[in-house]
Structure 1
Amino acid sequence: MSDTEDGAWLDDDAGRLIRPYTVSNGRTRPSSQFDLLTLVMATGERPKTYLGPDHDQVLALCGVPLSVAEVAAHLKLPAVITKVLLSDLVTHRAVTTSAPRAILAGSPTDRHLLETVLHGLRKRL
């Protein structure tokens, strides 16, 4: 979606001018199973039919693996609506999904990383 197209659907004060359920054509249940940590990535294949500007925006975001939660945050849409959009793209083989890597039980935790995150959170509060 270009900046001019994006500007037509956003208002600085009001935010998004289209209701989320309109984006998903009133659907609230995805046809594919996702959780918020599911990773999605564009396959490079384009849907055979035009799905809409929000689907295009998802494809543009998913050039690198992103979690469903990250995609929803970038789109500023509820996660359930984002899952519906992603389901459409999975059906058209335009995105692929994978489960996040599980942390092995008993593996050491990077203490330095956790301390850095804690320090960053404390600075923001």
Structure 2
Amino acid sequence: MAPDETSANGDEAIPSPRLVRPYTITAGRTKATVDLPLEATLRVDPRADGQPVNAAAVPLLEMCDTKSVAEVSALVSMPIGVVRVLLSDLVEQGFVTVQTTITESSSRDERIELIERTLRGLRTY
């Protein structure tokens, strides 16, 4: 039944919701310009308060303080690729900062700092 048709009993048809394709949200971009590991913790920069932000990124900005990239993706129910592109924009615009994660070349002190930060985060739950 087309959206403007009526059913056999004369009721008007209820239009079905339309899906927005991910590439329309990111303006066709598929790659983030900032490296954002899934476990990277995000912080909202309070100095950016009041500046204009892309409408598609507003829900991410509201969710991302002290959460990981993966958590933000789950909370806003958006694909991780889309979230990475939008978060990358927010980082470049100065709305969000990314706390570094450890790599193979990370020092012992960096590893300990990450463990301590993780423990502090777990204690808040």
TM-based fold match above 0.5: yes
SS at match of 2:34: coil
Which one of 36, 50, 54 corresponds to residue 51 of structure 1? 54
Q: What residue is the counterpart of 2:33 in the other structure?
A: 31
Q: What residue is the counterpart of 2:96 in the other structure?
A: 95
TM-superposed CA distance for 1:103, in Å, is 6.1
The change in CA–CA distance for 1:91 and 1:47 in structure 2 (over 3 A counts) is farther
Cα separation, 1, equivalents of 2:58 and 2:84:
14
Q: Does 1:73 align with 2:74?
A: yes
SS at match of 1:97: strand
TM-superposed CA distance for 1:23, in Å, is 0.9
For 1:15-45, what per-residue CA distance to the aligned partner results, in whole angstroms no more than 9, with x for missing partners? x731111111110000000111011111121
TM-superposed CA distance for 1:50, in Å, is 3.6
Q: What residue is the counterpart of 1:61 in the other structure?
A: 63
CA RMSD, 1 decimal: 2.6
Stretches of structure 2 that go unaligned for 5 or more consecutive residues are: 1-15, 103-109, 116-125
Task: Count residues with an aligned counterpart.
Answer: 90
TM-superposed CA distance for 1:100, in Å, is 4.1
TM-superposed CA distance for 1:99, in Å, is 2.6
Q: Which runs of 4+ in 1 moved over 6 A?
A: none
SS at match of 1:29: coil
Cα separation, 2, equivalents of 1:31 and 1:47:
24
Bigger share in strand: 1
Cα separation, 2, equivalents of 1:21 and 1:76:
15
Cα separation, 1, equivalents of 2:50 and 2:32:
17
Cα separation, 2, equivalents of 1:92 and 1:47:
13
Cα separation, 1, equivalents of 2:83 and 2:31:
10
Amino acid at match of 1:51: N
TM-score, with normalisation over the residues of structure 2? 0.61
SS at match of 2:82: helix
